[in-house]
Amino acid sequence: MYAPEAMPFFDNAALDSFALRCADLEGGGCLPIAGTVAAGDGPRALPVGTALRIFTGAPIPAGADAVVMIEACVDKIQKIHFERIPCQGDNIRRTGSDQAAGRLLIAAGTHIAAHHIGLVAANGVTQVDVIRRPRVAVFSTGDELCADPRAPHQIPDANRPMLLALARQAGAEVTDLGILPDDTRATAAALNALGTRYDLILSSGAISLGGKDHIRDALVAAGGTVEGWRVALKPGKPVMFGTLGAAAFTGLPGNPFAVHVGFHMFVLPQITRMLGVDLAPVAPVAGFSWTRKAGRAEVFPVHLAGHDDTGLPVLQRLGQSVSATLLPLSHADGLAIVPAEIDQIKPGASLLWRPFCHT
């Protein structure tokens, strides 16, 4: 979006004051007051040899070339005494001094917030072209899952509520498809019924190599394609990428922490790309020591402990990277990422991380 006009739209007073013509003070420091100009008043001229009382934001009268603040004057009601001779241009906000016509106001891909709306409104713009929210469908799989109440042999579904919240926070319009059974035909039928309503479909569970891991077969049976499966990542190795019609399909693991990792590593970039935004990882430093087995990139929750002398964020590791554990995640400020080839982290070492502040 570019500025349709220069701003301010007209020369105006920067403060409550008196407008005058500097040349009229050459014979002395006192002028009669010829009237008042307030914000919203129409154009008027400054009578020669006089001053006009003027309020903040009011248009500068024709012929006036300076504005003198009240504190530098002695107001005698009918006339005004100036303690010093002003300079031309004093306390006048000139047309276009804030922004020129055609200046970039908001770049494409910017998330419109309240301060952007203020700028847009100040420019007289009442409608903005935006990218619509991506439409995301979310479902869980597993006969062991329940919503409420829970039977003795079942566990609560943590993944779906978490994914619904994460997708909404990322800016998506989200639909809850509930819990699907561990059945290929039933899942394929549910996928077929989605039609063309969604841009992205998210599932959790049933994409590994177990006897009930049926999501890949169900997606193909519904007319979809599997484009990629499994990544060298801990936790979250069993991740599936595919398509169903025009929609992207991303299948995440069943363990809750792995689901959260998979969302931040893969799904969040998908959603933000649909919104026209690219995520750039932040490069903080470690505030801890850690030795691990190299070979897979590893993601773990971290707490922002402060900043070093150069201003870089310092991160402390939380938990033990167990993919079924959510408690450390609940205290985290983000997720740190260690590349596959790194086997040792020392304090001060560079890390990559995805802070949760995007939400």
Using a 10 angstrom Cβ sphere, with 0-12 exposed, 13-18 middle and 19 or more buried, the burial of residue 34 is middle
First to last CA, the chain: 24
Per-residue pLDDT of the chain (359 residues; tens, 9 = 90+): 999 999 999 999 999 999 999 999 987 789 999 999 999 999 999 999 999 999 999 999 999 999 999 888 888 888 999 888 899 999 999 999 999 999 999 998 888 889 999 999 999 999 999 999 999 999 999 888 887 778 888 889 999 999 999 999 999 999 999 999 999 999 999 999 999 999 999 999 999 877 778 999 999 999 999 999 999 888 888 999 999 999 999 999 999 999 999 999 999 999 999 998 877 767 899 999 999 999 999 999 999 999 999 889 999 999 876 555 688 888 899 999 999 999 999 999 999 888 886 43
Integer Cα distance of 160 and 230 in angstroms = 21
Q: Where are the alpha helices (DSSP H) in the chain?
A: 114-122, 159-169, 184-192, 215-221, 256-262, 268-274, 327-330
Integer Cα distance of 180 and 163 in angstroms = 15
Integer Cα distance of 314 and 290 in angstroms = 15
Do β-strands 155-156 and 145-146 pair in parallel, antiparallel, or remain unpaired? Answer: parallel
Which residues, in sequence order, are bridge partners of residue 20?
66
Distances (CA, A) of 354 to 202, 308, 319, 332, 358: 20, 18, 17, 11, 9
**Of 235, 180, 234, 217, the residue nearest 202 (C-alpha):** 180
The edge-to-edge listing of strands for the beta sheet with 17-20 is 66-69, 17-20, 51-54, 30-37, 79-82, 73-75
Integer Cα distance of 8 and 115 in angstroms = 18
Residue 330's pLDDT is what?
Answer: 86
Residue 199's pLDDT is what?
Answer: 98
Complete DSSP assignment for 25-87: GTT-SEEEEEEEE-TT----BPPTT-EEEE-TTPBPPBT--EEEEGGGEEE-SSEEEESSPPP
Report pTM. 0.75
Using a 10 angstrom Cβ sphere, with 0-12 exposed, 13-18 middle and 19 or more buried, the burial of residue 18 is buried
Residue 359's pLDDT is what?
Answer: 37
Residue 319's pLDDT is what?
Answer: 81
SS3 per-residue string spanning 327-358: HHHHCCCEEEEECCCCCEECCCCECEEEEHHH
3-class DSSP state of 87? coil
Residue 322's pLDDT is what?
Answer: 58
**Of 340, 306, 333, the residue nearest 318 (C-alpha):** 333
Residue 323's pLDDT is what?
Answer: 57
